[in-house]
Structure 1
Amino acid sequence: MSGAPVRVVVADDERMVRTALRVILDAEEGIEVVGEAATGAEAVSVVRELRPDVVLMDVRMPEIDGIRATEQILATLEDPPRVVVVTTFENDAYVYEALHAGAAGFLLKRSAAEELVQAVRLVACGDSLLYPAAVRTLAAEHAGRRAAGAPWVARLTGREADVLRLMAAGLTNAEIAGRLSVGAATAKTHVAAVLAKTGARDRTQAVIAAYESGFITPG
């Protein structure tokens, strides 16, 4: 990769996990682990100091958990990093809360090294690490926890509604363009409009909002 490397902070209360993630990422061209944290509070402090591009955040840590740490990072930094939650179980309630808090996606601890690297590169480019089946399952399991209905639903155009459904299915901008027979720039414009109307930070939050509002029904 050309240009500046993707700067990563690894937050996990297990030293062995932090070491393993560092070894994998530092071996990749264009990626540099610039810091580590063993607690949620330390993660917030390290991120504020080092201003990385990506944070790999364990959800269960001492002092404050990864969800609260993610919320603090995203709420207090003007240009916050992309946060990827690292978890053991994809259907963990913590995962849903982290995505709702603004995490760009999640990664399972059993993931292969190449999946880890791909995830870091993906979110560093501004995309989301969205697993449609997992998000659908999580939304179904946690349905009813938040009020259904949202004023933004009525503001969507017909084409924007189609785009949001395709986003929920995990399609990229290029795939959305192909499915709707429009240009890539047009698809990107529609996605941007959906994010603006839902008030979402990224695609993952837009999809979560779609489920929570009842615009998309799990199953």
Structure 2
Amino acid sequence: MDFKRFTGPQAGSQKYDLLTAIAVAGLNGSPGFQTSMLRLVALVTARYNWRNDELTVGQREMARLWSVDERTVKREVKRLTKLEILLQLRPGVRGRVAAYRLNYAEIYRLSEPHWDKVGPDFSARMEVQQPQDAPPAEKVVRVDFAAARSAEPMPPADTPWPRTLARLAQSDPGLYRSWFSGLALESFENGLLMLKAPSAFAAQYVLTHHMRPLHGMAQQEFPGLRRIEIGS
């Protein structure tokens, strides 16, 4: 599934509609879920980085915004990520703040049964904005990626690398299809993750332009990860 990014002349109204969707989903849930959605609305309104499409806020700042202690913040963030309303992009390690992204597809799914309660105009706009099935990738890309992986045995699904790929696909389906889906695991030793790309160009492009999301997702599945190298 692909979603529309909140850019362009209509971005402001689209953000309001998204916040309305979060709120109406919460209002039609349990009291605990209502509280979670109210906190999320406040956090997104105050601190979401729309340009980078991510949320990087420290627990202390969240606690101050929500008027709770940091233990409550940890529980709330864990709940929102477990519900897949928030997707973790990078863990908070070595004093660095964790990074999260709104899962637009899940927000639309949770709120869709209640759009009509807001009004027909809102329903009509949300039908246009909600994630659509992505068109199939060009055949040459699929063939190249499949061929690049065919010579290597695929690792079991419930192992770190397939789980990393699943995180990348969920976080940004378009980026995953274009650049990450063709990467294959070669080894992981002493904190070094070695990957193989379909071509030297693909390897260099990921290293130059897309290492931040790749490293962040891999770090959650490969404890002790220090560096990623990509060959072809």
For the pair shown, the structure with the greater C-alpha radius of gyration is 2
What TM-score does the superposition give when structure 2 sets the normalisation length? 0.32
Greater per-residue helix proportion:
2
> RCO higher in 1 or 2 (8 Å CA, sep ≥ 6)?
2
